[in-house]
Amino acid sequence: MRITPLVLTLMIGSALTACGNQALANTTGAAATGAPPGQALNVSSDQVIARDQARLRQNPSDWKSVDELAGAYLQKVREVGDPSYYPKVDALLGSALRHDPADTEAATLMGTLTLARHQFMDALSWGNKAHALNPYASRPLGVISDAQTQLGRYDEAVASLQQMVNLRPDLSSYSRVSYLRELYGDVPGAIEAMKMAIAAGGPVPENLAYTEVLLGTVHFNNGHLKMAEAEYQQALHDFPGYVQATAGVASVRAAQRRYPEAIRLYQRAIDIYPIPQYVIALGDVYAVSGNRKTAGETYDLAAAEQSLYTANGVDLDQELALFNADHHRNLDEALAAVRRAMRDRPNVITADSLAWTLYETGDYTGALEASQQAHRLGTLDALFFFHTGMIEMKLGMNVEAKADITKALAINPYFSVLYERQARQTLASLGNHA
């Protein structure tokens, strides 16, 4: 699929509606394991959706089916990247909870939905509600811990997650342990926990593959392209055609400066799963390979897609701000958005986005302050260190700037397709003048 305004119209008009993507849906469940189709217990999300819709036509107050349909819609978004399911999920769960406020499954799924929409305060309260209804269930604790992490309430997130993993050590809890360890700067511990998550596995091949992609991304973020690619390839083996793994390989190709391959792979991912994250990454590869015009068009597409998400209730303030700051677009809007994000999810990533947006707007003192907040957990994120170094340079703190940019490149020499060259050039200039 060529990324053009015409295609965008088509995507919004058709692919991004409820009809979804048959080809991809067929890769879930039975087909993905090479099994004959139609195994009664091994069903794709489309089958679940059709079945539950049929049941609800017969009996609209079959509340179990209401919950299950909501869950299947959420899975569908995962498969085709179509946020227009979110309002439907919201309505289904709302009706289930009006019927029975003690419906633990509906409350848990509300938590999942609000997390997906980045409404983290709401997610926290749904998680708490579900946890109160069933203190022995593990998933509500996952919702709570995710929300606390996003809200920057890290001590609480660690405590909730400890409760979750003590109750039920499995793929869900191990993978969250990995993420918190990573945020706290413990990369070997993060890798170990993600390997435990992968070893534990799950009933759906896609879940296992997603966890492998997460491990690949930990490796990538620490500059280990070969190990990253091995995980992405393992995910493609375990769940053939997996879009997240395809995008992972694309990021490795971009880091290796094999741009035509990276473009081809990102396009393949976007054809199936047109989320802004991949479209932006594609635009960046166009930009660094000298195709400024296509890059600009691609960024416009990403911006249009982002508005599709916000129209369906997804809060993208932090993501929009970073995108705009990174690409020197709409800086006033970016600043307003990232300040809202600091109010709604004051976590270390938002603090870093605020720092970078302030840098772009020329407020270097404010930027440095925000940057210090981003470093409060000791996260070894190359982008954080690059941003800090650039800010310090503007403030004349050349020794610190040199140290931080050096650190960024030491953590991950491939940390940004857009900025790795600038990091090296800046470091070289600092070497002469520091």
Partner 1 sequence: MRKQALIAVMGTAAAAFTLSPIGASASSHREAPLISQDPVADNTDVYAFTDPVDSTKVDLIANWIPVEVPSGGPNFYAFGDDVLYQIHIDNVGDAKDHIVYSFQFTTKTVDPTTFLYTAGPVSYDDSTKTYKNWNRPQTYSMALWRNGDNRQIATGLLTPPDAVGKNSTGDAANYHTLAMAAINDVGNGVKVFAGQRDDPFFVNLGGIFSPLNVTGAATGAVDTLNGVNVHSIAIQVPKATVKGPNDSVIGVWATSKRATTTVLNANGSKAPGSGGKGHFWTQVSRLGNPLVNEVVVPLGGKDLFNATTPADDKQFLTGVTSPLLAKYLNAFFKVNAPETNRTDLVAVFLTGIKGVNMPTNPNQVPGDELRLNMDTPVTHANPNDVNRLGALAKEADGFPNGRRLGDDVTDIELQAVDGATCAFGTPACTPGAMATTLGDGVAKDADAILQTQFPYVADPHSPAS
Minimum distance of partner 1 from residue 221's CB (angstroms) = 11
Exposed e or buried b per residue across 199-230, where buried means at least 16 C-beta atoms within 10 angstroms of its C-beta:
ebebebbbbbbbbbbbbbbbbbbbbbbebbbe
Q: What is the 3-state secondary structure (H, E, C) of 162-186?
A: HHHHHHCCCHHHHHHHHHHHHHCCC
Residue 399 class from Cβ within 10 Å (0-12 exposed, 13-18 middle, 19+ buried)?
exposed
Minimum distance of partner 1 from residue 78's CB (angstroms) = 6
Q: Which is nearer to partner 1, 123 or 285 (CB)?
A: 123
Distances (CA, A) of 271 to 32, 79, 150, 229: 19, 12, 30, 21
Written as six digits, the tokens of 89 are: 């999920």
Q: Which is nearer to partner 1, 83 or 389 (CB)?
A: 83
Q: Which is nearer to partner 1, 107 or 368 (CB)?
A: 107
Query: For the chain, how many residues are written?
Result: 434
If you search the block for the tokens 């302030």, which residue do you land on?
358
Minimum distance of partner 1 from residue 21's CB (angstroms) = 13
CA–CA distance, 225 with 409 (Å, rounded to integer): 14
Q: Which is nearer to partner 1, 381 or 420 (CB)?
A: 381
CA–CA distance, 309 with 305 (Å, rounded to integer): 7
Q: Which is nearer to partner 1, 107 or 427 (CB)?
A: 107
Q: Which is nearer to partner 1, 87 or 363 (CB)?
A: 87
Minimum distance of partner 1 from residue 29's CB (angstroms) = 7
Minimum distance of partner 1 from residue 377's CB (angstroms) = 8
Minimum distance of partner 1 from residue 52's CB (angstroms) = 8
Minimum distance of partner 1 from residue 15's CB (angstroms) = 14
CA–CA distance, 128 with 121 (Å, rounded to integer): 11
CA-only gyration radius of the chain, Å = 22
Q: Which is nearer to partner 1, 27 or 388 (CB)?
A: 27
CA–CA distance, 199 with 47 (Å, rounded to integer): 28
